Amino acid sequence: MSVAVHPPIAIRALKPADLPDVVAIDAAIAARPRRSYIERRLAAAVREPALHVQLAATDDAGLAGYMLARVLEGEFGSDSRALRLELLGVRPDIRGRGTGRQLLAALERWAVRHGIRDLQTAANWNDHRMVGWLDATGFDLASAHIVDCASDTLAWRPERDDAMPPEPTDDAGREIDFSAGPPNDYERAARGSADVRTMVAEDLSEIVRCDRSITGRDRTAYIGARLVEALDDSAVRVSLTARVDDLIVGYLMARADLGDYGRTEPVAVIDTIGVAPGCEGRGVGRAMMAQLFSNLGSLGVERVESLVAPSNLRLLGFLYHLGFAPSKRLPFVRRLGD
């Protein structure tokens, strides 16, 4: 009885020259070509190599598989780093031979070398192949909540302004002082109506200032990286700022794209939203969300999604009041070293 001998698999960094093979494998999996999405992912890794891990598996026939991941740092005020697995593909003729596991092992080694302890990803609950693979490779359900809603929902139009819960901040754990104090610049500005605009590169310093007032930390590097991603690494630009008297009092960073986690339909993902102290409960967050939904409707993006920590009750309450609900997509995490 003969035993089939398969050619060995080698793992290396993904290269721009691999693009046609990646697109071909991805199209065989998704039944829909996503060349522009994959091109943007590869370009992002060239632009910010410290934030991206892109691996290739090769055999005698060429590219056998690939795995794309991105470093997370600072989403919704988090000060821990994680690695988000965004795209995985294996050539159809070699599935079931452990290629995905070899790519995952290489990704884990990279994460450990860089002090990252968590691998994160997401999958539709009925994507049985992917959910089964995640289970078999040691992933568990994460405690975070994925919430989403249709972009044409009307739930963000409350009849009364005071019907909404307090606006979210990026620092949900910070103690809130309800005592009356002297008004700051943001409180004075909040007395006007918010002017919501598309985010531009020149907004960076003001967004950092606003974020510092919320979190108490200087996150220039994180905000700058997210701004670059919002402007250069998204299929369409949907990130927003809210101004009153030409002062930025709120920001919403989101991306609208096709492809993350195997999605085949465009979706907008809210990465972070912040409203300056003194402006919560004054409609700034609602104004940004209303503009986001309006913009997405005109772009044909039908759903909005966000990943929220279970401890961020203010943000969850805010989003649920807007019409968000638990998504059919499940978050997964693998703790390295467990």
The number of folded domains in the chain is 2
CB atoms within 10 A of CB 109: 12
Helix/strand number for the chain, H first, E second? 9, 15
pLDDT band at 325 (very low <50, low <70, confident <90, very high): very high
Asked if residue 139 is part of any domain, the answer here is: no
Among the candidates 116, 135, 160, a domain finishes at 116
Is pLDDT of 187 > 70?
A: no
| Residue 79 pLDDT level (bands cut at 50, 70, 90) | low
pTM of the model: 0.79
Least confident interval from 15-24, 202-211, 299-308: 299-308
Whole-number Å distance between alpha carbons of 88 and 163 = 43
Segment 290-294 mean pLDDT: 90
Residue 106 placed within a domain: yes
Q: Token pair for residue 245?
A: 């008297």
Average pLDDT over the chain, rounded to an integer: 81
User: Could you tell me if residue 4 is inside a domain?
Assistant: no
Are residues 66 and 153 both part of a single domain? no
Question: Which of 64, 95, 116 is at the close of a domain?
Answer: 116
Question: Does 76 score more than 60 pLDDT?
Answer: no
Span 109-126, pLDDT tens digits:
999 999 999 999 999 899
Residue 122 lies in a domain: no
Question: Does 174 score more than 70 pLDDT?
Answer: no
Whether residues 152 and 238 share a domain: the answer is yes
Answer whether residue 36 is part of any domain.
yes
Given a contact cutoff of 8 angstroms between Cβ atoms, the answer to whether 299 and 256 are in contact is yes
Averaged pLDDT, 34-42: 84
157 or 272: which carries more pLDDT confidence?
A: 272
Q: Which CATH number covers residue 45?
A: 3.40.630.30
**Residue of higher predicted confidence among 280 and 262:** 280
| Domain interval for residue 158 | 146-327
What local confidence, expressed as pLDDT, does residue 142 receive?
93
8-state DSSP, 292? H
Tell whether 99 and 42 lie within a shared domain.
Answer: yes
Core vs surface per residue 39-66: b (16+ CB within 10 A) or e: ebbbebbeebeebbbbbbbbbeeebbbb
With respect to residue 332, please indicate whether it lies within any of the assigned structural domains. Answer: no
Cα–Cα distance, 293 to 283 (Å, whole number): 15
Q: Are residues 88 and 209 in the same domain?
A: no
| Same domain for 23 and 107 | yes
Same domain, 304 and 155: yes
268 lies in some domain: yes
pLDDT over threshold 50, residue 73: yes
Is the domain of 100 the same as that of 155? no
Q: Is residue 160 part of a domain?
A: yes
Specify the long-range contacts of residues 33-39, CB closer than 8 Å, at least 24 apart.
Answer: 34/258, 34/259, 34/264, 36/235, 36/258, 37/235, 37/257, 37/258, 37/259, 38/87, 38/259
Per-residue confidence (pLDDT) for residue 115, from 0 to 100: 92
One domain for residues 105 and 201: no
Model confidence at 180, pLDDT cuts 50, 70, 90, reads very low
Domain edge (last residue) among 97, 116, 135: 116
- The predicted structure's pLDDT at residue 53: 95
Of 258 and 173, the structure prediction assigns the larger pLDDT to 258
Tokens for 197? 């605009």
Local confidence band at 260 (pLDDT 50, 70, 90 cut-offs): low
**For position 235, what pLDDT does the model report?**
61
pLDDT of residue 37: 82
- 207 and 290 within one domain: yes
- Pair (233, 317) in one structural domain: yes
Give the residue, 67 or 171, on which the prediction is more confident.
67
Query: Do residue 275 and residue 154 come from a single domain?
Result: yes
pLDDT value, residue 175: 30
Same-domain check for residues 158 and 97: no
